[in-house]
């Protein structure tokens, strides 16, 4: 019982921090669950459920603040959703999952540490051609489905690099991207384990779902109103690199 309480506290902090930068926290939930000794087949399912809980609140808060632009987002998600479902239905060994996720996050975090130009305005935004956005969204969705996360942590560095929009617009876009891909990825994961088996294993993790619900709501409010663009980018890089290093060290030591 004590262990689940500590895990819930860590999930709360993770949800708060990630929601403030437009992410769900799936990569860190996965790392924490692996380190806690959770059953491997249940890990991506738990992480994706937590993602859905967190980013649902985030999407709502960002939408109220006017940062959700469907006309620009739809090319990123129309192929990513079926690709995430397909990726989620594929079974891979635990060590492969951890290594793949760790290296991908390491690259993403290092990209975000670059000295991006601050204060991108509407006139500075660059529109990604629809074919490129479709291909990019599909590739990220498939990779995210395999490793059991929403994919925003892969999408964000690309959007920053291409000067796709302001930090808050990117955070809002990533929240929506994570939500739809987490739902699709979860459907794929449940195909492997079966809904009945998953439900039995998830009952003991109810405190984690409550923790991320509360933490995510607090973080989403902070992210949609209070944080500066520079802080969002720096915080995102720090979170990604922390998770990447923890995952890689766990797999190699």
Q: What is the pTM of this model?
A: 0.83
Give percent of the chain with pLDDT exceeding 70. Answer: 83
Residue 64, pLDDT score: 84
Across the chain, mean pLDDT equals 81
Residue 139, pLDDT score: 93
Per DSSP, the residues of 86-148 read: HHHTS---HHHHHHHHHHHHHHHHHHHTS-PPS---GGG--PPPHHHHHHHHHHHHHHHHHHT
Q: Is the pLDDT confidence value at 213 over 90? A: yes
| Residue among 136, 135, 134, 152 at smallest CA distance from 144 | 152
Tens digits of per-residue pLDDT, 158-210?
A: 887 788 877 778 888 888 999 999 999 999 888 877 666 665 667 788 999 99
Mean predicted confidence (pLDDT) in 28-51: 86
Tens digits of per-residue pLDDT, 47-100?
A: 999 999 999 887 887 888 888 888 888 899 999 999 999 998 888 888 888 887
Residue 118, pLDDT score: 47
Residue 36: count other Cβ atoms within 10 Å of its Cβ: 13
Tens digits of per-residue pLDDT, 97-151?
A: 888 778 877 876 776 676 555 445 555 566 677 788 889 999 999 988 888 888 8
Residue 16, pLDDT score: 85
Sign of CA dihedral 135, 115, 234, 223: negative
More confident position, 194 or 40: 40
Mean predicted confidence (pLDDT) in 23-27: 83
């Amino acid at each position: 019982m004590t262990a689940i309480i500590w895990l819930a506290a860590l999930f709360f902090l993770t949800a708060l921090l990630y929601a403030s930068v437009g992410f769900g926290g799936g990569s860190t939930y996965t790392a924490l669950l692996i380190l806690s000794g959770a059953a491997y087949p249940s890990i991506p399912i738990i992480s994706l459920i937590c993602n859905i809980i967190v980013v649902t609140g985030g999407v709502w808060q960002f939408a109220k603040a006017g940062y959700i632009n469907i006309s620009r987002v739809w090319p990123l998600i129309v192929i990513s959703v079926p690709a995430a479902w397909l990726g989620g239905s594929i079974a891979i060994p635990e060590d492969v999952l951890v290594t793949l996720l760790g290296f991908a996050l390491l690259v993403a975090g290092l990209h975000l540490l670059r000295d991006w130009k601050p204060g991108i305005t509407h006139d500075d935004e660059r529109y990604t051609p629809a074919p490129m956005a479709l291909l990019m969204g599909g590739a990220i969705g498939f990779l995210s489905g395999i490793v059991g996360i929403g994919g925003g942590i892969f999408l964000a560095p690309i959007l920053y690099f291409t000067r796709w929009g302001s930090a808050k617009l990117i955070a809002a876009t990533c929240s929506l991207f994570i939500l739809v891909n987490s739902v699709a990825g979860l459907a794929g994961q449940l195909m492997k384990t079966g809904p009945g088996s998953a439900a039995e294993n998830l009952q003991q993790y109810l405190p984690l779902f409550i923790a991320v619900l509360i933490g995510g709501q607090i973080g989403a409010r902070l992210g949609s109103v209070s944080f500066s663009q520079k802080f969002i980018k720096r915080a995102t890089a720090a979170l990604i690199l922390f998770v990447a290093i923890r995952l890689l060290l766990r797999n190699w030591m």
